[in-house]
Amino acid sequence: MMERHFEKVEAELRERILHMGGVAEEMIRQSEEALLERREAPIVRIAELEEEMNRLHIELDDRCLKLLALHQPIAADLRFIMACIKINSDLERIGDQAVNISQSTAYLLRLPPIDPPPFDIRRMVALARQMLRDSLEAMARKEVALAESVAHCDAEEDGLKKAAFIASMRLMQSDPSTIERALTLILITRNLERIADHATNIAEDVIFWAKGEDIRHNRNRKETNP
């Protein structure tokens, strides 16, 4: 049996999705650099990356639409396209969150840093990045176990965000001069938590594609309440 033409189209689509994932990762990495190292340059870079992200978002939507229209995929092929459509929009949202972080960071850079920081934001950033990287890796290798591990990390990120919220509240109560900066930090933790959610969605879509099982909403999932 020769290779199906559809497989070629499918591989191309997957390659574009992973490329888009790479852009999203880079955006998070740049916002991390701006936030943690207090640098301006990455913020400009993020604006450029967002433009590419938007182009990719439209391109991938178009690809998926045409693939559905022209190939009428079914079974695993159909699940793959479904997953791609959803992953596409998750990645675009991740990009938006990275932009939000960079904007908040731009604000923070105009003020002196809080010393010592009220909570460990490094861990939250690292975890969000790790979750996105793992979900994309799971997509690239169609690896269910890795995707499942991403879903488990989501709880930790939620916990970190809650802890950060409480620590920030305490700081603001004890030293009102930190209110502006602490509130901004809370916004950033919320952005990070959203990124983790989107990464989790991606992982769930990978599992749906690979196994045909919908594992969403089966666990007690956190609700964000700042």
Partner 1 sequence: MSDERTYSILEARGLSAGYGSGDAIRNVNMHFYDKRITAIIGPSGCGKSTLIRCLNRMHEEIPGTQVRGVVALSERNIFHMDPVRLRRQVGMVFQRPNPFPTMSIFRNVAAGLILNGLRGERSLAEVVETSLRQAALFDEVKDKLDQPALNLSGGQQQRLCIARALAVEPKVLLLDEPCSALDPIATAKIEELLLQLKDQLTIVMVTHNMQQAARVSDWTGFMLMGELVEFGRTDEIFTTPRDPRTQDYITGRFG
Q: Which residues bind partner 1 (CB under 8 A)?
A: 2-6, 9, 65-66, 69-72
Please name the residue ranges forming H helices in the chain: 5-37, 41-71, 75-109, 121-141, 144-174, 179-211
Nearer to partner 1, 69 or 145 (CB): 69
**CA proximity to 123, closest of 30, 46, 32:** 32
* Amino acid of residue 76: A
Given the structure tokens 């002196």, which residue do they identify? 112
Instruction: Return d(Cα 56, Cα 197) in angstroms, integer.
Output: 21
By CB neighbour count within 10 A (0-12 exposed, 13-18 middle, 19+ buried), where does 216 fall?
middle
Nearer to partner 1, 72 or 220 (CB): 72
Nearer to partner 1, 7 or 213 (CB): 7
Nearer to partner 1, 57 or 71 (CB): 71
**Minimum Å distance from CB 20 to partner 1?**
20
Q: 53, 92 in Cβ contact below 8 A?
A: yes
**Minimum Å distance from CB 66 to partner 1?**
4
